[in-house]
Every structure is written in structure tokens, then in C-alpha cells.
Structure 1
Amino acid sequence: MRVQLTIALGTLLAAPAYAGELAIDIEIPQLRVAEYHRPYVAVWLEGADGKAAADLSVWYMMKDTAEGHGIKWLPDLRQWWRKSGRTLEVPVDGVTGPTRPAGKHRLRFDDGMPQLADLAPGEYVLVVEAVREVGGRELLKIPLTWPARASQSGRAQGESELGAVALSVRP
């Protein structure tokens, strides 16, 4: 019995352990428009098959208003809604949160967090979608490999609803 335990521990120590961290910087530009509304934003990972693999973050109006609760407008995040949103019951702890003002916002995820804990190794695409009432919509994509065996980075530049989106992946 003691020999078997030693072998099992030796096997565990010899196996390569890959941890990982994703850092995502999202810029919401200040728009000069007559009627400004903060954008709804969805951030997720898609697998090589184009299907949603992990919902990372969804920003929406969380308070009640005369028009109703903000979930009414979540389907306006069309790509995210079709791939993942319609099957979620929001709010989702650690995923959903309030809309954010213009400026730079950083999201961090590590492989121990629920969003990444069950993510199989492979090629993925980080997708950031933004839509704004009385505004437009925008979708940006950055490819990545998970788990990271070496540092990776990527960047995409929005034209209207999103500014710069930067991704950093570290082992």
C-alpha cells in the first residue's frame, strides 16, 4: 500500500501542469451623441467549431426602469444571444454585471475560475460584442490557444461602439 501511494504521487508530480491566466482590456469610447446610453457588452470564448465554449462576462442594465429590467434588451447582443445567451438564466454569478462607463476596463480570469475550469485544451477565439441603444453594434475577435504554454497576446481595434480590445494569455 505504501509503495502504491508513492508511485501515484510520483506520477502526479511528473505530469506537466499548465495553469493559465487571461487578461482582457476593453475600451469603451466616449461618443459625442445627443442621446448616449452605455453599451451592453458580452465577452465569450468560441471553439474551433464556432460554438460558445465559455461565457466570460456580460454587462447589461441590471436595475429596473420604466421600460422594465435590462434583460429585456439582452437579445440585442445578437451573436452572443444566438450562441449562448438564450440558454442562460441571468444573473449569473461571476459573469453578469452592470454596464460600464466610457473608459478602459480590465477583466482577469484564471484556470481555477468557473468560466475556464472545464475548458478543454485547444484553439479558441475571444469574442467581444457591444451594442448600444440608439447606437450601433460591433463585434471583435482575437484568436488564442488554451491552455497557454507560452505567453500570447492579441489586439483588435473597434470603429464605433468599442475602442481597443487587448488580450494577454500567460501560462
Structure 2
Amino acid sequence: MRSSYLLLAGVIAAPATAGTVTVTIPRLPVAEYHRPYVAIWLEPAVGGAARTLAVWYDVKKGGKEPGTKWLSDLRAWWRKGGRSLALPANGISGATRAPGQYSVALPADLRPGAYVLNVEAARETGGRELVTVPLTVPNGTARTTGKTELGAVTLAAR
């Protein structure tokens, strides 16, 4: 009986989401590999304000060149609202990621409608890439693959 209460409490306490975005950062065959800065954001398909879901950068870098100095290399995100975002932003900011697959939750308060998901990556001594994926909320799914700096990007809206 006690374990069922704990299980129920875990279900109730789980944060609600409108779905997930899965981003793959590929391992690149280069002599000097640096982890990419990545920004993930949503925009209404008909136009409107961008909503940043995640921004991964060198959070701990300090001194003369704080990690935020290079965020402007994420050009599309920077122009859409990155420059006005106070960093570190609670629940959005995070450290750069090693090659692998990572999931980011879509916000629970995302209204039904058509959106465009943007994922942008930029690496020191590397390239820059922007991938866009159309999304319909609720019940939309989509998948695309980057060419260089990003691998598969998949969406599943609930």
C-alpha cells in the first residue's frame, strides 16, 4: 500500500510537457574538436516572438572572455531574442554538450497551433548550422537531419 502512494506521488509531481525535442550532436572527425554552442527556440509559424527552450554555452568560462561573449556566433538565435535574454537563464541555460543525443521538453503552456522549431549550433574552429523544423501542436511529429554540426533533430508534440 505504501509503495503505491509513492508511485502516485511521483506521477503527480512529474512536470507536464507538451512533448519533447531530441537533438543529436555528432562526433566530427577533426583534429581539434570543440563542443558546440547550441540554441533551441520556437517561433509561431505566422510570425511573432521567439521563445528560447535551451541555450548551451561555456557557462563556467570567466576572466576576460566570459562564455557569453561568443553567443553572438549563434547568429539567427541572437537576432531573434538571444541578445535580450539575461543569462544565465533559469531552466534554459546549460553547459555545452559532448557528442550524443539530448532531449529538451517543450513547454507545458504551449498553445495549440503551428510553430517552427529552430536548432542552431556553432563551434570554435568549426562551422555553424541552423536547422528548422515545422511543428503542429498538439500531436505533431517531425524529423530532420543536419549536414555538419548537427545530427538528427526529432520532435514529438502531445
TM-score of the pair, normalised by structure 2: 0.83
Q: How does 1:14-93 map to 2 (within 5 A)?
A: 21-65=18-62, 68-93=65-90
Question: Identity over aligned residues, as a percent?
Answer: 52
2:50–2:80 CA contact under 8 A, matched in 1 = no
Taking the aligned partners of 1:52 and 1:79, their CA distance within structure 2 comes to 13
Q: How does 1:22-171 map to 2 (within 5 A)?
A: 22-65=19-62, 68-111=65-108, 117=109, 119-146=110-137, 148=138, 151-170=139-158
Sort the Cα spacing of 1:86 and 1:110 in 2 relative to 1 into closer, same or farther, 3 A. closer
2:118–2:132 CA contact under 8 A, matched in 1 = yes
User: For residue 147 of structure 2, what is the amino acid of its counterpart?
Assistant: E
Cα offset, 1:120, TM superposition? 4.4
Q: Which has the larger radius of gyration?
A: 1
Cα offset, 1:48, TM superposition? 2.4
Cα offset, 1:22, TM superposition? 2.0
Sort the Cα spacing of 1:120 and 1:152 in 2 relative to 1 into closer, same or farther, 3 A. closer
Equivalent pairs counted in the alignment come to 143
User: For residue 86 of structure 1, what is the amino acid of its counterpart?
Assistant: R
Cα offset, 1:49, TM superposition? 4.0
Cα offset, 1:144, TM superposition? 1.3
Cα offset, 1:109, TM superposition? 3.1
Taking the aligned partners of 2:34 and 2:69, their CA distance within structure 1 comes to 15
User: For residue 85 of structure 1, what is the amino acid of its counterpart?
Assistant: G
Sort the Cα spacing of 1:104 and 1:86 in 2 relative to 1 into closer, same or farther, 3 A. same
- For the residue of structure 2 that corresponds to 1:80, the secondary structure is helix
- For the residue of structure 2 that corresponds to 1:64, the secondary structure is coil
Sort the Cα spacing of 1:20 and 1:91 in 2 relative to 1 into closer, same or farther, 3 A. closer
Sort the Cα spacing of 1:78 and 1:142 in 2 relative to 1 into closer, same or farther, 3 A. same
Instruction: Give the RMSD, CA atoms, in angstroms.
Output: 1.7
